[in-house]
């Protein structure tokens, strides 16, 4: 299973793709898509949309795991994340990918074993789980890998529940 995790944002959109096979999980790609803050918002969204579509075409993931906007005190940040998230969700669905969404607490629980884990702890656990030589940076990229790992952990249970409901 190829899972692309996406930590959405207009300025910085983290991505991390993992392959899970035969009990092993390894990182395939990791990085950040960025747009110039000086550009008008419509141009930034168009550039981000093109980059996301290119990423999906290049990696061809089975699943796209996206952070669900759960709570934001900063309305401006929430709007920006929501706009980027919408682009990712639409592009992933259009590419025929299964789309999963997880809250930050669900991701932290799956990766670090504690829903209140800090960013550094999540980064170290991502490093450990994927056998990386270094902690993945920047934080947006590490969060995206954590989102992918969250889906890898959750998928077997989700499949069993879906089967039981048939």
pLDDT band at 76 (very low <50, low <70, confident <90, very high): confident
H or E stretch including 59? helix 41-59
The yes-or-no verdict on residue 157 having pLDDT over 80 is no
Residue 157, token pair as written in the block: 């249970």
The yes-or-no verdict on residue 71 having pLDDT over 70 is no
54 is catalytic: no
For position 86, which CATH number holds?
3.30.420.10
Domain count, the chain: 1
The pTM of this model reads 0.92
67 is catalytic: yes
Task: Find the catalytic residue in 7, 19, 51, 163.
Answer: 7
Backbone angles phi, psi at 113, to 5 degrees: 85, 5
Task: Find the catalytic residue in 49, 58, 67, 120.
Answer: 67
23, with CB counted inside 10 A (0-12, 13-18, 19+), is exposed
Task: Find the catalytic residue in 39, 49, 140, 163.
Answer: 140
Give the pLDDT of residue 62.
96
163 is catalytic: no
pLDDT band at 70 (very low <50, low <70, confident <90, very high): low
Domain with 95 in it? 2-164
| pLDDT tens per residue across span 135-150 | 998 999 999 999 999 9
């Amino acid at each position: 299973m190829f899972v692309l995790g996406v930590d959405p944002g207009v300025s910085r959109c983290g991505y991390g793709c993992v392959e899970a096979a035969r009990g092993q999980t390894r990182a395939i790609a990791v990085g950040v898509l960025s747009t110039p803050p000086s550009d008008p918002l419509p141009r930034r969204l168009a550039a981000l949309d093109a980059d996301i579509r290119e990423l999906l075409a290049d990696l061809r993931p089975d699943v796209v795991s996206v952070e669900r906007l759960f709570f934001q005190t900063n309305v401006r940040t929430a709007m920006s994340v929501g706009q980027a998230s919408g682009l990712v969700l639409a592009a992933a669905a259009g590419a025929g990918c299964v789309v999963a969404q997880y809250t930050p607490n669900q991701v932290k629980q799956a990766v670090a074993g504690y829903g209140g884990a800090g960013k550094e702890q999540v980064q170290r656990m991502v490093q450990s789980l994927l056998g990386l030589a270094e902690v993945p940076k920047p934080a947006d990229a590490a969060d995206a890998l954590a989102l992918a790992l969250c889906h890898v952990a959750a998928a077997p249970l989700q499949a069993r529940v879906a089967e039981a409901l048939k």
